[in-house]
Amino acid sequence: MNLPKLRQRYQPRVVGPEGRDHVIDTFRAEAKQWRLQWRCDDCAYQSPSNRTCSLKWPNQMLLPDDPDVLDAADVPIFCKAFESSSD
């Protein structure tokens, strides 16, 4: 079984005819407009002392101030365990 290919098969197709840049630009504009929180710095599970994930998820992709929206295979980058740290 080729797990990466199997995983890819069940990912949503978010890149349409407008292309990858359109998806990225739209997401960033709407995230800013609606103050979307999805990065580790906004998550209750991030350890403030060293910015690691207390649930031990690899979080390098969600640490930058302006993280990538899609990975190299056009799969959305997000964390299903995100829990807002806001009140």
Footprint on this chain of ligand SF4 (rule: CB under 6 A): 40, 43, 45-46, 53, 55, 57, 59, 62, 79, 81-82
- Of 27 and 45, CB closest to ligand SF4: 45
Shortest Å, Cβ 16 to ligand SF4 = 27
In the beta sheet, which residues pair with residue 76? 70
Shortest Å, Cβ 73 to ligand SF4 = 19
* Contact between 75 and 62 (Cβ < 8 Å): no
- Of 20 and 60, CB closest to ligand SF4: 60
The alpha carbons of the chain give a radius of gyration, in whole angstroms, of 14
Shortest Å, Cβ 56 to ligand SF4 = 8
- Of 8 and 60, CB closest to ligand SF4: 60
* Structure tokens belonging to residue 70: 């899609």
* Contact between 28 and 69 (Cβ < 8 Å): yes
* Structure tokens belonging to residue 52: 């690691």
